[in-house]
Amino acid sequence: MAKTYGYGFPRLGKQREFKTLIEGYWAGKLTEEELRAGIAKLNDKREETYKKYVDAFPKGEMTFYDNLFDTALIFGIYSAESLDEYFNLCRGKNALEMTKWFNTNYHYLVPDFEGKEVEFKLGWNKHEGIKKNAYLIGPFTLLKLSKNLPEGKFTELLKKLAAKYLEYFKFNGFESVHLDEPAFVMELTDGEVEAIKEAYKSFESVDTKINVFTYYDSVDNLQFVFDLPVAGVGVDLVHDRGENLSQLENIDPKGKTLYAGVVDGRNVWRSDVFKKAEIIKKLSEKFDVVITNAALLFHLPVNLKGATLPPELVAKVAFAEEKLNELKLIADVVKGKEDEARSWVEGIDRAFGVRENVRERVRNLTEADFNKPVPYAERIKLQQERLKLPLFPTTTIGSFPQTQEVRRVRLLNRRGQLSDKDYETFIKGEIAKAIKIQEELGLDVFVHGEFERSDMVEFFAEKLEGIATTGNGWVISYGTRSYRPPIIFGDVERTEPMTVKEIAFAQSLTDKPVKGMLTGPVTIIAWSYCREDIPVSKVAYQIALAIRDEIADYEKAGIKIVQIDEAAFREKAPIKKRNWDEYFDWAVKSFRVCHARSKPETQIHSHMCYSEFGEIIEYILAMDFDVISIEASRSKGDIIEAFEKVNFDRQIGLGVWDIHSPYVPSVEEMKPIVKRALKVIPKENFWVNPDCGLKTRRWEECIPAIRNIVTLAHELREEA
């Protein structure tokens, strides 16, 4: 009978204990022992949850920061003699670069081989005392996601690395290991497949049972994974466009266990456990099947307890713990036990949140809703006449520090202990302070500071109809940072202005232009759980129309610059490039709907963070903004290489300050980033700004860093 297996359960904890513990240690409130004990306890709780629902689960999934980084430490790519050294590599001046983990909003630390003697060695035993299902990220994924590998040595390195894995398995005497190899779902070259085969060959000689897990998409030529000397293969049967399932029909199992990922690990919709059970039954005719989740469950909040969702929606969704329960329900149905499963699926197909007027608007979109009539070359002249900005204009990306005070007051308001009126007065006070600070620092384009926003997506989710917020559904995005993805369940509509009051107030306090600040459709979708009952493009256009209406209201209020953040534009792209056109088509078009009908003299900015630009620059240009700001500092401006190959005729602000770290860069440290970029970008098109919003920073860091940014711009103007 089919067994169940769960993996990737959130480490964050229901009360975000992970965050409290680690940040407590950083702040000196906890000793190392207290931290270690706290994390161990948190992990015990996770494992208790697994045990309630599934037959087996991996051991050693817990980390103090990031599992890819841990794996790099285990195999000696980095070394940390102490916990403080460990954290120094995660954050701070010499931290590893961070980037998005596949097409998710989780960020991992990128191992960098630059200037490294590549000699793998067992550097750290993370799995002491563990024998079964030891959790590790696999050697291919580890190398594939690293950067600056010595040219032409991939096969050789992978082989050497696999040999170290083998040594590690033997050293610990593992009975079985769980190897995550999500990079197997990328579009691999023949050379890479050969390299994997060769590297995995060394595993033939070990008694350890190796179960290799793939997820987030299908594996091209899945048979090759079944041919590897492994005991089990995990496949994603949810986000695979049906490609894994159809391949399984013709696959020779070679005696391997199939870990059938039938429960969605990335989206919240309840599984139709009856349909899933059918799939399992069918597969069981040929395979030894284990029922599992498709993808790491930490993309979901811990559980539904206490979530502030309408009951109609509760009946449709499942978070991580409920997904584990679904694994059990599927096994039940396979065994003929159907009662609990029946009540579980009762509400899943009930229509909820239909708005005919919104659907009508989307149906009526025409060419003029996607295309701006005035070309960029003319728009930029009109804008410059109006804005009269100096060379190297300085600005920030939107948010200013969300201080304890700001968060405390917001909480009071949410709890009903502070009236809306008093809350508004408080926010206005913060905006006024921020404007004053920006005046004093001498920035050219101001922001209002986003003090009223808990989060750039959740804020809009609260304002828009058709999107629900969860109240307590926290998910890690990187390190200890977490956010609460909203749930897009119905047709999305703006019923009144969402941000105009604050922006207009900020603008009333200064002669400098204040940017209207919005989050774009792709990012709202990417950082929410999106409905799947209508095409995602339709959802994007619905949101775009809401943004378009907001911009029209900005224009009436005299706002001259609007920034539409599309931080998730690259991340949301499918893993396989062959599926890109389909995605970017609606992604680009939804951005164009936002601003196509805005005035040509209204300057449209976009902002993206942590984007690998090279391959998508054409799509980015097609968004037809006037100015874009992007992250660049941790990669020391490497990103500019992407611009060398195209005719990038728009204005651009390259981030010169890594805002993810408390370190304040000097003018001398920032200048090379700009100097390098100026070889590619004409000086007239260049803005100077931080990498991203400053909400996680303190004013004590912001003020000197921005002062340096302004000084940098002054020096650049003199040198120009």
Name the one range near ligand GLN by CB under 6 A: 296-304, 329-337, 410-418, 692-700.
692-700
Q: Please pick, from the candidates 10, 138, 393, 398, the single residue that binds ligand GLN as defined by CB under 6 A.
A: 398
The 3 state secondary structure assigned to 44-113 is: HHHHHHHHHHCCECCECCCCCCCHHHHHHHHCCCCCCCCHHHHHHHHCCCCCCEEEECCCCCCEEEECEC
For helices 320-334 and 32-53, the axis angle rounded to 10 degrees is 30
Name the one range near ligand GLN by CB under 6 A: 406-414, 422-430, 688-696, 712-720.
688-696
Residue 187 phi/psi, 5° resolution? -80, 95
Asked if 513 is part of the footprint of ligand GLN (rule: CB under 6 A), the reply reads: no
660 counts as catalytic: yes
Residue 398 labelled as part of a binding site: yes
Q: Which is nearer to ligand GLN, 271 or 399 (CB)?
A: 399
Q: How many helices (H) and strands (E) does the chain have?
A: 27, 20
Tokens of 384: 């410059």
Tokens of 185: 């779902």
Q: Kindly determine how many residues on this chain lie close enough to bind Zn ion according to the rule CB under 5 A.
A: 3
Residue 369 labelled as part of a binding site: no
Tokens of 136: 């590790």
Q: Which is nearer to Zn ion, 609 or 678 (CB)?
A: 609
For helices 580-595 and 536-556, the axis angle rounded to 10 degrees is 20
Asked if 607 is part of the footprint of ligand GLN (rule: CB under 6 A), the reply reads: yes
Q: Which is nearer to Zn ion, 97 or 326 (CB)?
A: 97
d(C-alpha 370, C-alpha 296), whole Å: 37
Q: Please pick, from the candidates 325, 394, 399, 590, the single residue that binds ligand GLN as defined by CB under 6 A.
A: 399
User: How do 257-264 and 232-236 pair as beta strands?
Assistant: parallel
Task: Tell me which of ligand GLN, Zn ion, none is bound by residue 331, counting a contact when its beta carbon lies within the kind-specific cut-off of 5 to 8 angstroms.
Answer: none
Q: How many CA atoms lie within 13 A of 34 on its CB side?
A: 12
Pick from 184, 269, 712: which is nearest to 489 by CA? 269
Asked if 693 is part of the footprint of ligand GLN (rule: CB under 6 A), the reply reads: yes
Q: Please pick, from the candidates 59, 494, 676, 695, the single residue that binds ligand GLN as defined by CB under 6 A.
A: 695
Q: Which is nearer to ligand GLN, 305 or 407 (CB)?
A: 407
Name the one range near ligand GLN by CB under 6 A: 44-52, 365-373, 394-402, 664-672.
394-402
For the residues of 352-373, what is the DSSP string, one character each? ----HHHHHHHHT--HHHH--S
- What is the x/- site pattern for Zn ion, positions 417-456, by CB under 5 A? ----------------------------------------
Task: Tell me which of ligand GLN, Zn ion, none is bound by residue 13, counting a contact when its beta carbon lies within the kind-specific cut-off of 5 to 8 angstroms.
Answer: none
Tokens of 489: 């369940």
Residue 132 labelled as part of a binding site: no
Distances (CA, A) of 209 to 129, 174, 232, 294, 310: 17, 8, 8, 21, 45
* Residues forming a β-bridge with 135: 178
Tell me the closest approach of the beta carbon of residue 397 to Zn ion, in angstroms. 6
Q: Which is nearer to ligand GLN, 570 or 695 (CB)?
A: 695
Pick from 272, 514, 300: which is nearest to 400 by CA? 514
Q: Which residue has the closest beta carbon to ligand GLN?
A: 693
Task: Tell me which of Zn ion, ligand GLN, none is bound by residue 455, counting a contact when its beta carbon lies within the kind-specific cut-off of 5 to 8 angstroms.
Answer: none
Asked if 438 is part of the footprint of ligand GLN (rule: CB under 6 A), the reply reads: no
Q: Which is nearer to ligand GLN, 548 or 607 (CB)?
A: 607
End-to-end CA distance of the chain: 74
Asked if 524 is part of the footprint of ligand GLN (rule: CB under 6 A), the reply reads: no
Residue 160 labelled as part of a binding site: no
d(C-alpha 649, C-alpha 633), whole Å: 22
Q: 88: exposed, middle or buried (C-beta count within 10 Å: 0-12, 13-18, 19+)?
A: middle
Q: 81: exposed, middle or buried (C-beta count within 10 Å: 0-12, 13-18, 19+)?
A: exposed
Tell me the closest approach of the beta carbon of residue 556 to ligand GLN, in angstroms. 22
Residue 609 labelled as part of a binding site: yes
Pick from 276, 220, 211, 273: which is nearest to 246 by CA? 220
The one-letter amino acid at 681: I
- What is the x/- site pattern for Zn ion, positions 4-33, by CB under 5 A? ------------------------------
Q: Which is nearer to Zn ion, 113 or 663 (CB)?
A: 663
Residue 699 labelled as part of a binding site: no
Tell me the closest approach of the beta carbon of residue 442 to Zn ion, in angstroms. 23
CB 631 within 8 A of CB 653: no
Task: Tell me which of ligand GLN, Zn ion, none is bound by residue 398, counting a contact when its beta carbon lies within the kind-specific cut-off of 5 to 8 angstroms.
Answer: ligand GLN
Tell me the closest approach of the beta carbon of residue 430 to ligand GLN, in angstroms. 14
Residue found by looking up tokens 């285990």 in the block: 74
Residues from 587 through 616 that contact Zn ion (CB under 5 A): 609
Tell me the closest approach of the beta carbon of residue 109 to Zn ion, in angstroms. 18
Asked if 456 is part of the footprint of ligand GLN (rule: CB under 6 A), the reply reads: yes
- What is the x/- site pattern for Zn ion, positions 567-586, by CB under 5 A? x-------------------
CB 290 within 8 A of CB 258: yes
d(C-alpha 298, C-alpha 491), whole Å: 27
Tokens of 219: 């594996």
Residue 702 labelled as part of a binding site: no
CA-based angle 143:179:126, to the nearest 5?
A: 85
Name the one range near ligand GLN by CB under 6 A: 32-40, 290-298, 666-674, 691-699.
691-699
Q: Which is nearer to ligand GLN, 567 or 678 (CB)?
A: 567
Other beta carbons less than 10 A from residue 683's beta carbon: 14
- Which residues 6+ apart lie within 8 Å of 172 measured at CB? 125, 127, 128, 130, 131, 134
Residues from 687 through 716 that contact Zn ion (CB under 5 A): 692
Distances (CA, A) of 124 to 69, 73, 78, 302: 12, 6, 10, 29
Asked if 567 is part of the footprint of ligand GLN (rule: CB under 6 A), the reply reads: yes
Q: Kindly determine how many residues on this chain lie close enough to bind ligand GLN according to the rule CB under 6 A.
A: 13
Residue 607 labelled as part of a binding site: yes
Asked if 130 is part of the footprint of ligand GLN (rule: CB under 6 A), the reply reads: no
d(C-alpha 549, C-alpha 54), whole Å: 48
Task: Tell me which of ligand GLN, Zn ion, none is bound by residue 399, counting a contact when its beta carbon lies within the kind-specific cut-off of 5 to 8 angstroms.
Answer: ligand GLN
Q: Please pick, from the candidates 181, 326, 565, 626, the single residue that binds ligand GLN as defined by CB under 6 A.
A: 565
Distances (CA, A) of 459 to 467, 469, 499, 527, 643: 11, 9, 10, 12, 33
Q: Which is nearer to Zn ion, 88 or 477 (CB)?
A: 477
Q: Please pick, from the candidates 22, 188, 195, 397, the single residue that binds ligand GLN as defined by CB under 6 A.
A: 397
Asked if 692 is part of the footprint of ligand GLN (rule: CB under 6 A), the reply reads: yes
For the residues of 618-667, what is the DSSP string, one character each? HHHHHT--SEEEE--TTTTTGGGHHHHTS---SEEEEE-S-TTSS----H
Q: 186: exposed, middle or buried (C-beta count within 10 Å: 0-12, 13-18, 19+)?
A: buried
Q: Which is nearer to ligand GLN, 345 or 397 (CB)?
A: 397
Residue 105 labelled as part of a binding site: yes
Q: Please pick, from the candidates 188, 609, 656, 705, the single residue that binds ligand GLN as defined by CB under 6 A.
A: 609
d(C-alpha 155, C-alpha 140), whole Å: 10
Catalytic residue among 178, 239, 660, 714: 660
**Residues tagged active-site:** 660
Annotated binding site: 19, 105, 397-399, 450, 527, 565, 607, 609, 631, 692
* Residues of this chain that bind Zn ion (CB under 5 A): 567, 609, 692
Annotated binding site for Zn(2+): 607, 609, 631, 692
Annotated binding site for L-methionine: 397-399, 450, 565
* Residues of this chain that bind ligand GLN (CB under 6 A): 397-399, 450, 456, 517, 565, 567, 607, 609, 692-693, 695
